[in-house]
Amino acid sequence: MDRLRVTLDGMTGTDTGQQAPSSLLIAQLARGTRRRIEQVVAPIGLRPRELLALQHLREWGPSAQQALADMVGIDATNLVAILNSLEDAGLIQRSRDRADRRRAIITISRGGERLLADLDRALGQLDDEILAPLTRSEREMLNLLLTKTVMQMGSECASSPYGGC
C-alpha cells in the first residue's frame, strides 16, 4: 500500500505529500460511480430514487409508506410520485394496513424482484469495472468498511433534527 499513495497534490494541485482525506476520495468515487449507475439503470427506465426504494423493500420487506419515505430519505410528497411510477410499471404493490386503514403498505412485486435480480448482475459487472485494481480480498474488505460506515451514517441520519440525510 505504501507504493500506492494518493496525495493531496492530485486533488489540490499542490505538492504537500500528504495523504488525501478519505472523504474527498469517497466524494470523487461517488460522483463517477453515480454516473455509471445511472447509465446502467437508464435503459430499464428506473431513476436512482426508484431503485433505492425497490432495494429497500427487497432488503427490509413490506413497509409503511411514511417509513419508506424516512428510510429512503425522500419527502413523503415526492415519494408518492415515485411509488405511482413503480406501481404503474408493476414493480410494487400498495395495500391498506389492516390495523390502520389510513396507512399504505408497500410491497415489492415479483416483477420488481426479477428486475432487481437483473440489475444485481449489471451492477456486479459495474463493480468489476470500477474495482478492477483491487484484489478479491481488498474488495471484500472495502465492502465491509463501506457497509459499516453506511450503517453508522444511517443511524445518525435517523436521529438528525434535520429530518434525515
Can you say whether the dihedral through the CA atoms of 8, 157, 148, 136 is positive or negative? negative
**Run of H or E including 74:** none
CA angle 77/72/99 to nearest 5° reads 70
How many whole angstroms separate alpha carbon 63 and alpha carbon 79? 13
pLDDT(29) > 70: yes
pLDDT category at 16 given cuts 50, 70, 90 is low
DSSP helix/strand/coil, 108: strand
The pTM for the full model equals: 0.67
Q: How far is CA 45 from CA 40, 77, 135, 161, in A?
A: 10, 21, 33, 34
How many whole angstroms separate alpha carbon 43 and alpha carbon 90? 17
8 A C-beta contact, residue 18 and residue 7: yes
Q: Does domain 23-157 have CATH number 3.40.630.30?
A: no
**Residue 4: per-residue pLDDT:** 47
- Please give the average per-residue pLDDT across 111-129, as a whole number: 93
Domains of the chain: which residue ranges?
23-157
How many whole angstroms separate alpha carbon 101 and alpha carbon 37? 37
**Residue 154: per-residue pLDDT:** 63
The rounded radius of gyration (Å) of the Cα atoms in the chain is 19
